[in-house]
Structure 1
Amino acid sequence: MGAATLLIFVAVVHRYAAAAHYPAVLQPVQDFLLGLNLSWAQELCIYMFVWMAKFGAAYGVRHGTHVGVDTLVRALPPAQARWLTLVGLLGGVVFTAVVGTMGAVFVWDNGFHHALFSTFGWDVGDVPEGPTSPDLEVPTWIPYACIPLASYLMCFRFLQVMWAFWRRGELPHHEVAHVEGLDEAEAAA
């Protein structure tokens, strides 16, 4: 997130600095700035934030910080709440597996198969190369690969949480005021 924020900051400063009115003495500075092409920065930042959001959701499932609505679960008796929680976790598994599979098919059809065949020296025949992104000019299957990768990771995390809940009855819980490593640092001081 820091790299994306820094990149956008540099791109915005560049845009304003290149458009500023300079005295004749500083005209070479403006010429230099106009020669820099940062048009790709916004597209890269969009891809970076999408990847962060998708993998951040998987992290949230693992650590109990992913958004969940448990009002009904809390109102039920423990036995019924347990089954409803398992059904909800199973719904997360199914949903992320479906999204991951649909994403994998999309990435495959969007040019990954051409890249894979070319890498291994296989005959690509009539297999299309796939589109490229407008500013970065990278194959679009690369940024879109976060959909199946992160969705399958999230599915795996739902399975982990569901297994732990089935065996021990525990869901991951995030303490808002807890900072990992802080207790160890205080003990060492």
Structure 2
Amino acid sequence: MVLIWPALGLAAIVAAMFLLERRFPDAVGRFEENVLAILLAAITFVSFTQVVARYGFNSGWGGALEFTRILFAWMILFGMSYGVKNGIHLGVDAFIRLLPSRLFKAVAIFGAVCVFLYAFVLLYAGWMTLVGADVSTNWRQTGAIGYWKFMFDRGTGLDDLRYPLWMQEAFGLQDRVQRWVAYLMLPVGLALLAFRALQGVVGIAKGERDLIIAGHEAEDLVAENKDALKE
């Protein structure tokens, strides 16, 4: 399976994110937040209108459940890199905080590297041929890129989610929305996660951040809001 052009596309997305963030960091941050907010709002809106339609008018949209599942998956896959970037993933740091500063830094870098390797393995498993694994006969072993390319080549449709009739007639689309459209965020999200993990490695090495997790979020929230009731 030729995966060059999907891999180049992901590389272009990551490169664009990197360059834009260097020049417009606030704008990129707002973009990420807006994407997550829009996805969450869409999930809420579709779920609410579906409940009203079902119990109020005994009707509803047949593809609503599948649509909200896809949106929820997109929010998770896109949000995991945002969480690494802002250090808001929950983690346990009680033990490593007791280590000497140099050892603590080494462990923090190791953790960030593990996140990168996790994302990279899920994104593309072809590197396993270096340790003797045979991935030439099983598309699933090529990771998210191979899975998405497999769906793209076949154009298989989703179970319930369909294009509106006007889109089918205007653009000559098939009845059901293709799975590759719904699964697009899988390789994109993993590529962004790998990118943010590498950023975390560099940031920790330079002393710009301690960890890529929030190990004591509750303590931070208490400290930030301890005087709120006095105001």
TM over 0.5: yes
Deviations 1:26-66 (A, max 9, x none): xxxxxxxx5xx511111111101110011111100000102
Does residue 104 in structure 1 map to residue 142 in structure 2? no
State the partner residue of 1:60.
83
Q: Secondary structure at 1:158's aligned position in 2?
A: helix
Deviations 1:88-145 (A, max 9, x none): 11000110111122111100111x2x3xxxxxxxxxxxxxx23210111211111112
Cα RMSD after superposing both structures: 2.1
Alpha-carbon contact 1:57-1:154 (below 8 Å) kept: yes
- In structure 2, distance between residues paired with 1:66 and 1:100: 20
State the partner residue of 1:23.
none
Q: Secondary structure at 1:154's aligned position in 2?
A: helix
State the partner residue of 1:183.
none
- In structure 2, distance between residues paired with 1:176 and 1:153: 28
* TM-score (normalizing by structure 1): 0.71
State the partner residue of 2:155.
130
Specify which of 29, 42, 49 is matched with residue 3 of structure 1: 42
Amino acid at match of 1:46: R
Specify which of 92, 99, 105 is matched with residue 76 of structure 1: 99
In the TM superposition, residue 69 of structure 1 has moved relative to its aligned partner by 2.4
Alpha-carbon contact 1:99-1:147 (below 8 Å) kept: no
Structure 1 stretches (4+) deviating beyond 3 angstroms?
171-178
Alpha-carbon contact 1:104-1:145 (below 8 Å) kept: no
Segments of 5+ residues of structure 1 without an aligned counterpart are 20-33, 115-128, 179-189
Matches of residues 6-85 of structure 1 in structure 2 within 5 Å? 6-19=45-58, 34=59, 38-85=61-108
- In structure 1, distance between residues paired with 2:108 and 2:95: 10
